[in-house]
Amino acid sequence: MKGKDLTSREEQLQQEQFTAYFRLYEYPLYCFALKTIQSELLARDIIQEVFIKLWSVRDQFSDIRNIEDYLYKMVRNKVLDVLRQLANDRRLRAAYFNDHQWEESRTYENIVAKEYEFALAEAINQLPPQRRIIYQLSQVEGRTRNEIAAELRISPSTVKNQLTAALSYLRKIVAGQIKLF
């Protein structure tokens, strides 16, 4: 009887944990998918599939170190799958573009742009903290080397070296991650 009670309790804990994950991440993941795919129906389908997949691995929750990263990667991968399907399936693409009144010829360019954005964001997150800060101050905020050096209290040559290393790393990583069709 104890074994059955333990299994029942484990299942209940898994269900409670899954429910907590769903409540916490469902809307932010939906917004992330919607921003990328720009279709409410497709975004809802993607989120539903991601949580179905999460439920199927519920016994491995303790092995997942960062559930938020895990879920965002699942959504990103599912979005890319959907975009690839749209690019390859004429009927799906026609229905999607009729809903959005976009140019069908831009499908490939949109997919490449989305994959590039995902790969770049992941690569930026992998940079060491100081290098990431320098990259963001320079490339996102448009600050000069001298401004960055003054703010971070480091030399302009250190800013230059760190920025050069960051850009080199990002080019290498992004180029290696974008593999279409």
For 1-14, the pLDDT digits (tens) are 455 555 788 888 88
Tell me the pLDDT band of 150, cut-offs 50, 70 and 90: very high
Largest CA distance in the chain: 71
* 81, 108: one domain: no
Same domain, residue pair 111 and 44: no
* Nearest-angstrom CA–CA distance, 15 and 106: 43
* Amino acid 51: pLDDT: 92
Q: Which of 80, 72, 138, 89 is nearest to 110 (CA)?
A: 80
Per-residue pLDDT, 180: 43
Q: How confident is the model at residue 136 (pLDDT cuts 50, 70, 90)?
A: confident
Same domain flag for 42 and 107: no
CATH (domain of 16):
1.10.1740.10
> What does the pLDDT average to over 67-92?
83
Of 102, 135, 158, the one marking the end of a domain is 102
Same domain? For 78 and 145 the reply is no
Clarify whether residues 16 and 93 are in a common domain: yes
How many domains in the chain? 2
Write down which residue in 102, 122, 147 finishes a domain.
102
**Domain boundaries, position 146:** 103-181
Check whether residue 2 and residue 46 sit in a common domain: yes
* Phi, psi angles (nearest 5°) of residue 108: -60, -45
The proportion of the chain whose per-residue pLDDT surpasses 70, expressed as a percent, equals 77
Last-in-domain residue among 102, 132, 159:
102
Are 39 and 98 members of one domain?
Answer: yes
For residues 70 and 46, membership in a common domain is answered with: yes
The enclosing domain of 147 has a CATH number of 1.10.10.10
Q: Does residue 139 sit in the same domain as residue 67?
A: no
Whose CA is closest to 166, among 133, 140, 117, 144?
133
Judge if 92 and 113 occupy the same domain.
no
The count of other CB atoms within 10 Å of the CB of residue 158 is 15
**Residue 63: what pLDDT?**
87
pLDDT at 64: 86
Q: Are residues 29 and 3 in the same domain?
A: yes
pLDDT of 107: 55
**What secondary structure does DSSP assign to 102-130, as a single string?**
--GGGHHHHHHHHHHHHHHHHHHHHS-HH
Which range (61-65, 91-95, 105-109, 127-131) has the least confidence? Answer: 105-109
